Structure 1
Amino acid sequence: MSRLVKVKMTDTNDQPMPEYILNTLYASDMYFEPDIRKSTVMSDGTVELQVESPTIMLHGRVNLPLYGNIWVMAHNHGEGYKSSDFADGRNFDFVAEAIGTYLWEAENFSKGIIPTPYARGHFDAAKEYCSLAGEDVDAGYCRLKALSHAVLAAEAMCYETALAKLAEKPRPELMLGCNIFKHAGNDRHGEYFKELFNFATIPFYSYQLAPEEGRLDFERRDELVDWCEANGITPKGHPLWFGHKETNPAWMFTKSYEELSEFARDTIKKTAGRYKGRIKVWDSMNEPHDWANCFNFTQEQLMELTRICCETVRETDPGATSVINVCLPFAEYVAGKFVCYGPVFDQPVSPMKFFRRAIEKGIDFDVVGIQLYFPARDMVAVNRLLDVYAGFGKPIHITEMGVPGGNTRGQTDDISTVDPQSQIGLTKGGWHSAWNEHVQADWMEQFYTIAAARPEIKALTWWDSMDPGFMKTSPFLFEDQVPREMYFRLKSLKHRLRGRPDNLKIGH
């Protein structure tokens, strides 16, 4: 049943936040499934938001002092908000509710650990700034400072809890990967790659594999599989189907759904058959939800094509691991009701909803694959979202990820200028400070630690190893094969993940 929620979002001057911020506000259920955004910004800056889910949490982009611009959540101590919470028509104070959300998260994570001075300091700062705001001491500024410190405290305690879990139960079996698209022989890039990774993603995009109708080109793929095997690296094939217009050759756009689904079946048989026993992990279907649908398939056709891809992999190589890979895992595009390519359906399908439907329909796949670019969210929200994907009861691979390394060595990080409705534009944001190599390495260390502490996560794949990458300045190496700081951080972090702390000693 639809109902109206009135929300105020105030800035450091205690006035309404800029309209572009107010227009980001949306509601989701407690499993991050968004309502389509139906909002109006009133003349006094109040946002009137129509919500559908019976129990909701709220999400809005906020400029946090000493942090950056990110999506912030308010979820009422994990209970969500019900109709009765808005029955009196009061204005919902987003900043106050978000402060309460992150302080509650921090307290939850602090159970069973002794927080570091960093974590405790942020927690105490958040409480003190709340008190100062209550005394009307520069209230707008102090409220946002309280929220910033509350987010930092909750993130820190989430990370420190993960550290404790890893110390108790390391993850020597965890696969650490990257795509190997730029491999060019036994050069410095290859040596650096072998130092970090035991899992490599090999390209099988249709425009490379089937540039001409009736001909499959395996030459580059054979070369990469051979190199992986020679160096003890597990190869993964990506993707067996992807509905993005830039990854498919022109001849495919003249075909019907029936013809393309038959092409998919035939190509997968030949591809998975050729590498049977050699490539044991496949992204059988890539981004099959509504985001990238360049062939304008219906939602039913997308689901049926997913079935065809997954079942053909299983029939061709029963021992292979079949992955369904999704992007934009928070599904903010559903709230905005827009997509990258293809039709915008009345009710877009989020990655979460796609997995639920695929499992209900009995589609035969093994792994939930999640892409995590940026993602303009704090680590607490990311960890909470991973709970949702873990709820599908299957192993998880983080299949693609990246955050920028900042403007260094003459390269330009153009994240701030991309189309706001592109994949990167939708997830652009700050994290703790302006992006640079130090912040990038910090993000990677925190996320890898939090992910590794979750036993359902079996593989972590950074997307690009060397510039230029899908996300500019995100790879481990510059184009001249000189490492960024992140390379050295992961090389050291591997010892902690694998439970070999002695290897962290200086000079060891």
Structure 2
Amino acid sequence: MNLDHRQQKSKFKILNSNGEPLKNQEVEISQKDHEFLFGCNGFEFVPYASDQLDAEAAAETEKYIARFLDIFNFTTLPFYWGQFEPERGKPRTEELKKAAQFCQQNNLTVKGHPLSWHTLAPDWLLDLSNQEIWEAQIKRVKRDLNDFKELVDMWDVINEVVIMPNFDKYDNGLTRVAQAKGRIKVIKELFDTSQKEAPKATFILNDFNTTAAYEILIDGCLQAGVEIDNIGIQSHMHQGYWGLEKTQDVLERFSRFGIPIQFSEVTMVSGELMPAHYLDLNDYQVENWPSTKAGEKRQAENVVEFYKTLYGHPLVEGITWWDLIDGQWLNAPSGLLREDYSPKPAYNELKKLIKDEWWTETKKLKTDVNGELEFTGTRGDYSLKIKDKEIDFKLEKDQAKISLSLA
């Protein structure tokens, strides 16, 4: 697999504390993190960071955190409006801020999910007119983007909008508005508002629908002038692994827009597969869904192929696994960890990819008479050590020259 698109070759110019070239000096360059976003939803961080857990639960969560930080550099925090602001005017801002601060302290890039979604919309919207619902939605976007400006710089602006106007499982305010305004107008107003409030943030259109309907919607948005920073694609595979052919097909169809892609919610079960006749995964309700040895082997093999396929595509910038531990959404064995926090084969194989196969080994190099050297590595965060001094730097795309000073 050609991974040149993940690499960068750069010429370094290293200066001593006097600003002169550091000649004929041995240096050591070590990778510290990936530029690529390897992520997982981090909902368990919220009660932990707010000290809401008793000693036993906190100790268990610390096992989760250790496993999480061992391979991931990216996380998604829950901003589902109905849970974030169940009572109008009383959002859980401080609680989520503590979680975001915890993530920031642990070098995790944070994405907020989502700013708008018909599912888990607050019940109090139902008492409002369509105009009042939309005013509340826009107000919510402005408030939260500003409240979290220093902590969260990536957001799913709107989630699963392909189905939003046709959603009929229960009444909710946002479906009403989508029916009245139309999807593209809803999306444009949300993106325009978001980009005005936080012009440096990354804003994502996210959906589980990978059919032509989502492509048509994206096309319509672009024609309407919507500036989509990333296309979010969910891939919940409770009913079976997509396989290489479907994965490549999805990549081909959605890469035609030339917009960076994030695979925003990835699941693969390590037990029996969900029956294929369920159209809505949420309809499959079971009390016990165990992981099996055969299922874990299958999950690991599928994880390796899926991640390699995505990482090999130049437009994919991030992959987020959904639920690190078994027994979360739908009670499914879709974690990379079992319920006792022990790693499954899929966890170990993914760690090998992220921290070994796709990781640049520490290299010892020597500057020339001009204080220069050449280095090629996986794009990301690095440190350069010279005797007792250490300098951090980023290896970024098209960064042909890097100047570092010991001053």
Settle same-fold status: TM greater than 0.5.
Answer: yes
Partner of 1:420: 278
Partner of 2:195: 314
Displacement of 1:497 in angstroms is 5.4
Letter in 1 for 2:36: L
Determine helix, strand or coil for the equivalent of 2:329: coil
Matched, 1:276 2:139: no
Equivalence map 1:131-170=2 (5 Å): 164-166=1-3, 168-170=4-6
Equivalence map 1:334-483=2 (5 Å): 350-374=213-237, 377-406=242-271, 413=272, 415-416=274-275, 420-423=278-281, 436-470=295-329, 472-483=332-343
Equivalence map 1:482-493=2 (5 Å): 482-493=342-353
Contact 1:182–1:466 (Cα < 8 Å) also in 2: no
Partner of 1:262: 135
Letter in 1 for 2:183: L
Partner of 2:126: 253
Contact 2:236–2:268 (Cα < 8 Å) also in 1: yes
Displacement of 1:253 in angstroms is 2.4
**Quick one: structure 1 residues 497 and 249, their matched pair in 2 at CA, closer, same or farther if it must change by over 3 Å?**
farther
Aligned-partner Cα distance in 2 for 1:501–1:447? 24
Determine helix, strand or coil for the equivalent of 2:313: coil
**Quick one: structure 1 residues 402 and 187, their matched pair in 2 at CA, closer, same or farther if it must change by over 3 Å?**
same
Contact 2:162–2:209 (Cα < 8 Å) also in 1: no
Partner of 1:23: none
Contact 2:206–2:264 (Cα < 8 Å) also in 1: yes
Given the alignment, which residue of 182, 190, 204 partners 1:323? 204
Letter in 2 for 1:229: Q
Partner of 1:298: 179
Equivalence map 1:228-243=2 (5 Å): 228-243=103-118
Determine helix, strand or coil for the equivalent of 1:178: strand
**Quick one: structure 1 residues 496 and 165, their matched pair in 2 at CA, closer, same or farther if it must change by over 3 Å?**
farther
Displacement of 1:379 in angstroms is 1.1
Letter in 2 for 1:354: L
Contact 2:116–2:158 (Cα < 8 Å) also in 1: yes
Matched, 1:219 2:67: no
TM-score by length of 2: 0.70
Aligned-partner Cα distance in 1 for 2:198–2:241? 38
Aligned-partner Cα distance in 1 for 2:356–2:253? 26
Displacement of 1:460 in angstroms is 0.5
**Quick one: structure 1 residues 502 and 438, their matched pair in 2 at CA, closer, same or farther if it must change by over 3 Å?**
farther
Matched, 1:207 2:82: yes
Determine helix, strand or coil for the equivalent of 1:377: coil
Letter in 2 for 1:494: I
**Quick one: structure 1 residues 398 and 497, their matched pair in 2 at CA, closer, same or farther if it must change by over 3 Å?**
farther
Greater alpha carbon shift after TM alignment, 257-266 vs 390-399: 257-266
Partner of 2:66: 191
Aligned-partner Cα distance in 2 for 1:229–1:459? 18
CA deviation profile, 1:8-33 (whole Å, cap 9, x unmatched): xxxxxxxxxxxxxxxxxxxxxxxxxx
Displacement of 1:229 in angstroms is 1.0
| Fraction of identical pairs, as percent | 25
Gaps of 5+ in 1: 1-163, 332-349, 407-412, 427-432, 504-508
Contact 2:5–2:314 (Cα < 8 Å) also in 1: no
Determine helix, strand or coil for the equivalent of 2:40: strand
Task: List structure 1 runs of 4+ shifted beyond 6 angstroms.
Answer: none
Determine helix, strand or coil for the equivalent of 2:77: strand
Equivalence map 1:15-34=2 (5 Å): none
**Quick one: structure 1 residues 369 and 496, their matched pair in 2 at CA, closer, same or farther if it must change by over 3 Å?**
same
Aligned-partner Cα distance in 2 for 1:435–1:361? 49
Contact 1:261–1:305 (Cα < 8 Å) also in 2: no
Aligned-partner Cα distance in 2 for 1:502–1:494? 15
Determine helix, strand or coil for the equivalent of 1:402: strand
Displacement of 1:425 in angstroms is 7.5
Letter in 2 for 1:442: E
Displacement of 1:302 in angstroms is 2.5
Partner of 1:95: none
Letter in 1 for 2:236: Y
Contact 2:241–2:302 (Cα < 8 Å) also in 1: no
Contact 1:170–1:499 (Cα < 8 Å) also in 2: no
Gaps of 5+ in 2: 8-33, 49-57, 285-291, 364-407
**Quick one: structure 1 residues 258 and 435, their matched pair in 2 at CA, closer, same or farther if it must change by over 3 Å?**
farther
Matched, 1:180 2:38: no
Contact 1:240–1:268 (Cα < 8 Å) also in 2: yes
**Quick one: structure 1 residues 263 and 389, their matched pair in 2 at CA, closer, same or farther if it must change by over 3 Å?**
same
Determine helix, strand or coil for the equivalent of 1:478: coil
Letter in 1 for 2:360: R
Displacement of 1:453 in angstroms is 0.7
Determine helix, strand or coil for the equivalent of 1:436: helix
Letter in 2 for 1:422: D
Aligned-partner Cα distance in 2 for 1:194–1:388? 33
What count of residue pairs does the alignment treat as equivalent? 306
Contact 1:398–1:461 (Cα < 8 Å) also in 2: yes
Determine helix, strand or coil for the equivalent of 2:317: strand
Displacement of 1:196 in angstroms is 1.3
Aligned-partner Cα distance in 1 for 2:74–2:83? 21
Q: Greater share of strand residues, 1 or 2?
A: 2
Contact 2:160–2:209 (Cα < 8 Å) also in 1: no
CA deviation profile, 1:304-360 (whole Å, cap 9, x unmatched): 2212221121111110000000113136xxxxxxxxxxxxxxxxxx21111111111
**Quick one: structure 1 residues 263 and 446, their matched pair in 2 at CA, closer, same or farther if it must change by over 3 Å?**
same
Determine helix, strand or coil for the equivalent of 1:459: strand
